[in-house]
Amino acid sequence: MRSRPHARFLALFLSAVVASGLFVAGGGGAHARARVPSPPASVDGGAWKSGHLQGTAIDRSTGHMYFSFTDLLVKTDLAGRPVGSVTGFTGHLGDLDVDPRDGRVYGSLEYKAAQAFYIAVFDGSRITRMNMDARTAGVVSTVHLREVVRDYTADMDGDGVFDGDTAGTADHRYGCSGIDGIAFGPDLEGRGGSRLTVAYGVYANTARTDNDHQVLLQYDVRDWARYERPLGEGASHTSGPRSPDGKFFVYTGNTRYGVQNLEYDGYSGNWLMAVYRGGKAAFPNYSLYVVDGSKPARRGVVRGQPRPETGRIVSLLPRGLHHGPSGVYGYESGGQYGLVSLDDGRFYVAEAGTVDSGGTTLQTGRAVLRRWTGATPDPFAEAGASTASGAGR
The type of residue at 362 is: L
Q: Which is nearer to Ca ion, 170 or 321 (CB)?
A: 170
Task: Mark the segment that binds Ca ion (CB under 5 A) among 65-73, 104-112, 148-156, 219-227.
Answer: 148-156
Closest approach of Ca ion to the CB of residue 12, in Å = 18
Contact flag: residue 161 with Ca ion (CB under 5 A): yes
SS3 172: coil
Site string for Ca ion, 280-319 (x = CB under 5 A): ----------------------------------------
Rounded distance between C-alpha atoms, residue 319 and residue 291, angstroms: 10
Task: Mark the segment that binds Ca ion (CB under 5 A) among 32-40, 163-171, 327-335, 346-354.
Answer: 163-171
Closest approach of Ca ion to the CB of residue 291, in Å = 13
Closest approach of Ca ion to the CB of residue 279, in Å = 23
Q: Which is nearer to Ca ion, 25 or 161 (CB)?
A: 161
Site string for Ca ion, 72-101 (x = CB under 5 A): -----------------------x-x----
Q: Which of 77, 102, 133, 155 binds Ca ion (CB under 5 A)?
A: 155
Closest among 93, 53, 298, 273 to 183, alpha carbons compared: 273
Rounded distance between C-alpha atoms, residue 319 and residue 378, angstroms: 12
Residues 175/209, Cβ–Cβ less than 8 Å: no
Counting Cβ atoms within 10 Å, is residue 236 exposed (0-12), middle (13-18) or buried (19+)?
Answer: middle
Rounded distance between C-alpha atoms, residue 183 and residue 271, angstroms: 9
Residues 287/331, Cβ–Cβ less than 8 Å: yes
Which residues does residue 339 pair with via DSSP β-bridges, in sequence order? 349
Task: Mark the segment that binds Ca ion (CB under 5 A) among 82-90, 216-224, 238-246, 256-264.
Answer: 256-264
Closest approach of Ca ion to the CB of residue 54, in Å = 10
Residues 69/43, Cβ–Cβ less than 8 Å: no
Closest approach of Ca ion to the CB of residue 169, in Å = 7
Peptide bond into 39 cis (omega under 30): no
Which residues does residue 105 pair with via DSSP β-bridges, in sequence order? 98, 122
Q: Which is nearer to Ca ion, 183 or 342 (CB)?
A: 183
Task: Mark the segment that binds Ca ion (CB under 5 A) among 17-25, 155-163, 233-241, 294-302.
Answer: 155-163
Closest among 87, 67, 92 to 131, alpha carbons compared: 87
Give me the DSSP letters along 127-190: --STTEETTTSS-EEEEE-HHHHHHHT--TT-SS----S-SSSS-SGGGEEEEEEEEEEE-TTS
Site for Ca ion in 344-383 (CB under 5 A): none
Closest approach of Ca ion to the CB of residue 381, in Å = 21
Closest approach of Ca ion to the CB of residue 158, in Å = 7
Kindly state the helix (H) or strand (E) to which residue 83 belongs, with its residue range. strand 82-87
Closest among 75, 145, 138, 131 to 103, alpha carbons compared: 75
- The residues, any chain, with a CB within 8 Å of residue 384's CB and separated by 6 or more, are 371
Closest approach of Ca ion to the CB of residue 290, in Å = 14
Task: Mark the segment that binds Ca ion (CB under 5 A) among 44-52, 98-106, 258-266, 298-306.
Answer: 258-266
Total residues interacting with Ca ion, rule: CB under 5 A: 9
Task: Mark the segment that binds Ca ion (CB under 5 A) among 131-139, 176-184, 266-274, 284-292.
Answer: 176-184
Closest among 336, 351, 344 to 371, alpha carbons compared: 344
SS3 149: helix
Site string for Ca ion, 122-141 (x = CB under 5 A): --------------------
Rounded distance between C-alpha atoms, residue 93 and residue 284, angstroms: 29
Closest approach of Ca ion to the CB of residue 57, in Å = 6
Site string for Ca ion, 183-202 (x = CB under 5 A): x-------------------
Which residues are at the interface with Ca ion (CB under 5 A)? Answer: 95, 97, 155, 157, 159, 161, 171, 183, 263
